[in-house]
Amino acid sequence: MFWSIILALVLLALIWTVIREGHPLDKLPGPKRPVVGSILEFIGSNPRKLFELQRKFAKFYGDRYVVRILKRRILHVHNPNDIEVILSHSKNISKSLAYSFLEPWLGTGLLLSTGRKWHSRRKILTPTFHFNILKNFTPVLEEKSTNLVRYLRQAGRREHDLFPLISDVTLYAICETAMGTQLDQDKSTASVEYKQAILQMGTLLVERVTKFWLHNDFIFQRTAIFQKYDKILNKVHSFADEVILERKKQRTQNGACDETEDAVGKKKRMAMLDLLLEAESKGEIDLAGIREEVNTFMFEGHDTTATALTFGLMLLADHEEVQVRHLTNLVSSHAT
């Protein structure tokens, strides 16, 4: 019965796709497959194959092309000028369908919110990125960078997948700077499970994005992947809630002033969570909102950073002359 319903829905979608009017995006370059679009090319493709497929499309159709899957049209841009227009726009900040898959985890924090809520949250969080705040965390970042170098040396010269290694380090860094939690030092069951859960969440979300039939919530929620996802999600939320409430309890017991200054009035290092709790005490955000932003920064702060660092190291490996320039700059800066 269940699969009969699914088949009927798919057939209705196909019929609707055939009879609907054309779309302005159809005028742009891209594979012109009738009825189902490029659906057959995506079935059974793992993330690696999907990456290769999109690189092939970009090479053939140019820096701006559209891929259609049933009724959905996906605009791909590869030109930096196009990307700049999108990223610098302060009003059209609504995200694509794939981002909605993050909402059960991240809520509608700074990444997924729009309109008035986005502007309000940005106003609260902007001080977090003040130069003096970031400068205070330099020792943390230097420590994690030193650890990364040590891990790389231990890996030796054999072939090694760097992304999981770098992802661990960036996760530790964002945990300490955002939540004030030293995940690499905390060996409790909850901390170990949280680290594993964060990494697993990313893997499951990529799997859902790359399997178009899982885009539908009704279908997704009836799969084994969802059962695993839901279990991991509960662990992530429970850990974040525990850290937030414990930090709030400490602030209540010690007094908020103890969190910002030491005995001689010198500014102490404050995690992003402290700044959010300070905003909460002023009525600018509630605890649910704090969890949204903590989870958002945990995701954005480790996954995207790890991806950028891994890609940067790959480029350095491909361009030895740039390696030499970087080494020269480092030696020169440390000499002075």
135's CB contacts (< 8 A; 6+ apart) are none
Arithmetic mean of pLDDT over the chain? 83
- For the chain, the domains span 18-92, 119-335
pLDDT digit string, tens, across residues 236-260:
999 889 888 888 888 888 765 444 4
160's CB contacts (< 8 A; 6+ apart) are none
d(CA 154, CA 148): 10
Calculate what percentage of the chain has a pLDDT beyond 90: 17
Give the pLDDT band (50/70/90) at residue 13.
low
What number is the average pLDDT over the span 112-119? 88
Confidence (pLDDT) at 315 = 92
pLDDT digit string, tens, across residues 200-232:
888 898 888 888 888 889 999 999 999 999 999
d(CA 211, CA 220): 10
**CATH 3.40.50.10860 fits domain 119-335:** no
Q: Which residue has the higher pLDDT, 270 or 240?
A: 240
d(CA 279, CA 247): 14
For residue 306, give the H/E element and its range.
helix 305-318
Tokens of 238: 């429970």
Of the chain, the end-to-end C-alpha distance in Å amounts to 74
